Amino acid sequence: MQFAREQQHTVHMRQFRYNLIFLAITLVTACATLTVMPSTTTASNKAIILFIPDTDWPPYLISDSNHPDKGVFVEVLMAVATPLGYTVQTRRLPNKRGWLLLEEGVVDAHPKAKEWIKNPERYNWTDPFMTNEDVLLYTASKDSKFTNPESLFGKTVATINGFIYPALEKHFASGEIKRVDVASPYAMLGLLDLNRVDAALVNRSETQWLFRNRPDLKPEKFHMDDTPFDSAEYRYAFTKSKDWQPFITEFNEALNTMKQNGQLKAILDQYR
């Protein structure tokens, strides 16, 4: 009987070990599957990773001793998200890689206008928080005004190399408006000052920031058109790899309150 009990005990121990091994293999397999298989997860860690371009673009993005990774894009998101219990972390990335990581859910959000994105339905979008206006800049001595694209026919216009200007692209292509590409807003101001171009296509907020913070640029030499030749609304695009929709609903409600009580305007006015 003792021998039989020992045999039975041995069988039970072997079965127990086999069960442990099977459970371990199952857990390892499950973890590996979760690692490689894309899935929609809940955004529950209360941290938003904001992908921003790896360049300075005041007032939208500023990185210096006084403003480390700040600017409109970061400050607006923080102003809305922090009272809701979220933290905002920034991650500077090259544009192409940033969008890839956004789709994969490695980063959570990115500021952009829907109008500039192919297939914007790939992302979840907040309500707009800021209007982007592209305007014409002239020298102060010229009494010029933009009324429609035809008002630029036969003129030479300074542009940023690589930028697309949807409202005027077909007129550049036809040669009705001559485009002169330069590398920076400073180069555009230089061409204007030397009368080598008739006008420059500038971003209103960026130019206002430069003129306020760089008096050496002598803003009195220039005048900016009141009428934009193109505009778009900045929003935050959120990855669909995580369920950010509940936060977006909260964001939109809080943003609407900030628009009504003047808090959003106060933030934006700091960067004009």
Structure-model confidence comparison of residues 84 and 164, the more confident one:
84
Q: Find how far residue 109's CA is from the centre of its chain.
A: 7
Per domain, the residue ranges of the chain are: 41-131+232-269, 133-231
One-letter identity of residue 18: Y
Distance between CA atoms of 197 and 180, rounded to whole angstroms? 8
pLDDT band per the 50, 70, 90 thresholds, residue 163: confident
Helix (H) / strand (E) element for 237: namely strand 230-238
Give the per-residue pLDDT at 62.
85
Condensed to tens digits (0 to 9), the pLDDT of residues 231-243 reads 999 999 999 999 9
- Report the CATH number of the 41-131+232-269 domain: 3.40.190.10
Q: Which CATH architecture fits 133-231?
A: 3-Layer(aba) Sandwich (3.40)
pTM attached to this predicted model? 0.75
Q: How far apart are CA 81 and CA 87, in angstroms?
A: 7
Rounded to whole angstroms, what are the CA distances from 153 to 133, 148, 178?
21, 10, 8
Confidence of residue 44 (pLDDT cuts 50, 70, 90): low
Q: Which two tokens stand for residue 16?
A: 């127990």
Closest CA to 50 of 108, 95, 122: 108
- In this predicted structure, the answer to whether residue 68 has a pLDDT above a threshold of 80 is no
Q: What is the pLDDT of residues 70-129, one digit of tens each?
A: 899 999 999 999 999 999 999 999 989 999 999 999 999 999 999 888 899 999 999 999
What pLDDT is attached to residue 10? 44
Instruction: Give the CB-side neighbour count of residue 189, counting CA atoms within 13 A.
Output: 19
Asked if domains 41-131+232-269 and 133-231 share a fold, the reply is yes
